[in-house]
Amino acid sequence: MIEDLFFLEKQAYKKSPVHALDARVKIIIAFAAIIAIVAVPYSTMIYTVGAIFFAFFIVLWAFSLLSPAVYLKRLAVILPFGIFLIVFQIFFKNPYYESFTTIATLPFGIEIYAESVQFASILLVKFLVSVSFIILLSSTTRTQDLLEGAGRLGLPAEFTLTLGMMLRYLYVFGYMIRKMTQSLETRCFNPFDRTLPYRYRLEKVAYAVGTLFIRSYEQGERTYTAMLCRGYGRESHLYIAKKPLKGRDWTFLAAGLLLIIATPLLAWARIIVLA
């Protein structure tokens, strides 16, 4: 994940109409889309809502001028656990349906139910849409802008300060991990090498973990002392300048929110039905 951090920031520093939008607007749109898609009940109307939301995401991604490969690469990192949970759904009965029809019987008495397959597909739609909006948000917004945007939206000062410091040092430790791995590699140590005793490998990895802990603690002490020297105290907080939204931001925010709120309502009222 730490290598992805550098990849992510590289994408976020590119220029495009989506990158240029204010971070606040992107945060609100992404969060609203995720909350809306999660709020839609587990029913087949999710297909309509999901399709429209996903189309909205694709349009935004196209305007971000990022390659689809970036999206797919990031998606591949996120998917495994969610997909594991989704695939297994087809074998289970769940409380959201009253009756279940078997469509296939496997050895050991395992059955696949039509309703469960449908439920799995509903979960998949919700999962994909929410993950896509997170990928869009973090691929087009620099972490520093995200932080300031969150602060302007009212995230308490304690959090902007701590998250800000954490984000800054994330990259420091990213490089540190890279150096530690490289120096272990130059000594021909591979934690997955089966010719080495397991205990030995675990010990080496644990030393790396312990060292990282001590180094981050010491970095914390140094930074804290440095901050004290510059007047850090109880009332200190991250300074975030006021920044009014531009006309373009307001337009996009209004249009985006309208789409996100109207789509589930219209699908619920069966005014738009795609599937």
Partner 1 sequence: MHIPDAFIPLPQAAVYWIIALVFIALALRWARRELSEEKIPLVAILAAGIFAIQAVNVPIPWGTSGHMMGAALAAIVLGSPFAAVFILTLVLIVQGVLFGDGGLTVMGANIINMGVIGGFVGYYSYRGLLPVFKSPYAPAFIAGWLSLFVASLACAVEMALAGTFPLELGLLSMGLYHAIIGIIEGGITAIAIYLITTARPDIMAEREVVPA
Judged by CB under 8 A, the chain residues 168 through 227 that form the site for partner 1 are 168-170, 172-174, 176-177, 191-192, 198, 201-203, 205-221, 223-224, 227
Minimum CB distance to partner 1, residue 259 (Å): 19
Binds partner 1 (CB under 8 A): choice among 62, 77, 87, 273? 77
Alpha-carbon separation of residue 105 from 40, 66, 90, 110 (angstroms): 31, 44, 12, 6
Q: 132 Cβ partners below 8 Å, 6+ apart?
A: 54, 57, 71, 75
Q: Check binding of 162 to partner 1 (CB under 8 A).
A: yes
Near partner 1 by CB under 8 A: residue from 95, 154, 197, 247:
95
Q: Does 5 bind partner 1 (CB under 8 A)?
A: yes
Q: Is 102 in the site for partner 1 (CB under 8 A)?
A: no
CB atoms within 10 A of CB 125: 21
Interaction between residue 62 and partner 1 (CB under 8 A): no
To partner 1, the closest distance from the beta carbon of 105 in angstroms equals: 18
Residues 86, 127 contacting (CB under 8 angstroms): yes
34 is a contact residue toward partner 1 (CB under 8 A): yes
Q: Tell me: does residue 88 bind partner 1 (CB under 8 A).
A: yes
Largest CA distance in the chain: 70
Q: In 10 A of CB 88, how many CB atoms? A: 11
User: Does 112 engage in binding with partner 1 (CB under 8 A)?
Assistant: no
Specify the 3-state DSSP secondary structure of 193.
coil
Structure tokens at 39: 């709020």
Q: How far apart are CA 127 and CA 38, in angstroms?
A: 9
Q: Which is nearer to partner 1, 207 or 250 (CB)?
A: 207
CA distance 109 to 91: 10
123 forms part of the interface with partner 1 (CB under 8 A): yes
How many chain residues interact with partner 1 (CB under 8 A)? Answer: 80
Closer CB to partner 1, 13 or 242, in the complex: 13
Binding partner 1 (rule: CB under 8 A), the pick from 109, 197, 233, 247 is: 233
